A and B are shown apart, each in its own frame.
Chain A
Amino acid sequence: MATYFAELKNDFILNFIDEGRWRWLWEGLGNTLIITFVALLMGLAIGIVIAAVRSTFDKNRESMEMHKGFGYYVLKLSNAICHLYLTVIRGTPVVVQLLIMYFIVFATSRDSLMVAMIAFGINSGAYVAEILRGGIMSIDNGQFEAGRSLGFNYIQTMIYIIIPQVFKNVLPVLCNEFIVLLKETSVAGYVGIVDLTKAGDLIRGRTFSAFMPLIAVALIYLIMVVILTALVGVLERRLRKNER
């Protein structure tokens, strides 16, 4: 057992200390975090817009069909576009989307990091949109009717009455999406980005030992996820307290 730990120590030094290899992990972690963070913000922005269009269409379809105006056709078209976006994004693997973004859509861009942020942002947007729409649809229609019957218009009802309830309901799911996103960025290495996973691979390719780099990478992801989950728990408890 003693020799085993001595070996472990040598392995550690070889993989992280020699030639400052820990720098790969540090750089990779930075890239993973920045991609995740920017993609999250983008995903939220896209998701909110899409969810707004889709649920507005669903909720107002009947009353707008009464008098089919210009707005009805604009909304119908937007809804169709959103639907197409959701179908395509949720129907294809994120790696394929990333490669398409990198080699086709942004063929001439050299900024892989930016391409990855956009690719993951667009991907995440689809999932966030459906989470939000699910949240809106899960609110009892009576809430909506109560708002409208007091004289609030659709948007006011959404802002004052529906959204605050949706937010609380979907927050855990949204955070889960964030955690999934964090882990999904591990395919960023496909387009030449040194993210956390790739950093481990690069160390592995130079030291030819599997254990240390892989376990280190796994640990770093795990720690981030555990921290995030704990934060979500705190946030959830605080929100619940506000209601009582």
Chain B
Amino acid sequence: MAENEIKLSVADRRAVAWRHQFLQGSWNYERMQNGGWCYAMIPAIKALYKTKDEQAAALKRHLEFYNTHPYVSAPVIGVTLALEEERANGMPVEDQAIQGVKVGMMGPLAGVGDPVFWFTVRPILGALGASMALGGSIVGPLLFFIVWNLIRMAFLWYTQEFGYSVGTSIAKDLSGGLLGKITEGASILGMFIIGALVQRWVSISFTPIVSTVTQAEGAYIDWSALPAGAEGIKSALEQYSSLGATGLNVEKVTTLQGNLDQLIPGLAAVLLTLLCCKLLKKGVSPIAIILALFAVGIAGRLLGFM
């Protein structure tokens, strides 16, 4: 290699990583993320090429079609930086080679980024934060925002550096088993958590009363026979703790919901979710399903079964 080899400094690479966050800003139906990609490459182009012709050629080279998941795009830009660096140092790197690497990597990587980030990490962190937020705690949103951005920024920077250091050899790794494993592991974790979320957060309650039974004496608290004052409260609480919730009234009311929950808690929720899966697969729009569910809810309340 020549003495005066041009290298991208850490500052250059940081600048690219920072701008890479705006990748999707000019997302368009023609060439998708091309504008953001070119915008991210500008600090590197400025550092590597000095003549106006070279700069113009480089800018045009990076305005080609590009679209992938915005985070896993980081290793792609890392590899591209390595290629551009070689080219700037006189190595015979063709335009087609650079575009080929981008296109070759973006497909498989998007296949990993979507399930890992959009369908595993975000639902998990979101559900965790939301479950705290439902109680009005600021910790929920803060936790979601901070943890998500720490993970995201660390991922963007380190995978870009990884791509930069391994250069084109990463393209071989892509066909290897590692990506497949990450996707599979994420699917397992994601499905497990979604199962848990369906149980906890899809709420359907049927109100119809299945039966009303007058309970035997001793199975309920005889409110008129309690001693007066604090003694009475104590006695009532003692009886309540041994009799349970059905001890409060003479009549024991069994709702349809109670019966369903004895089979499997959340059975109705999981059935509804599976129905939604079916409908979505048939091509019914999610919006239509959501509106239909609101309609069912209103009808259910009007007719008194929900």
Report if A and B associate in a common complex: no
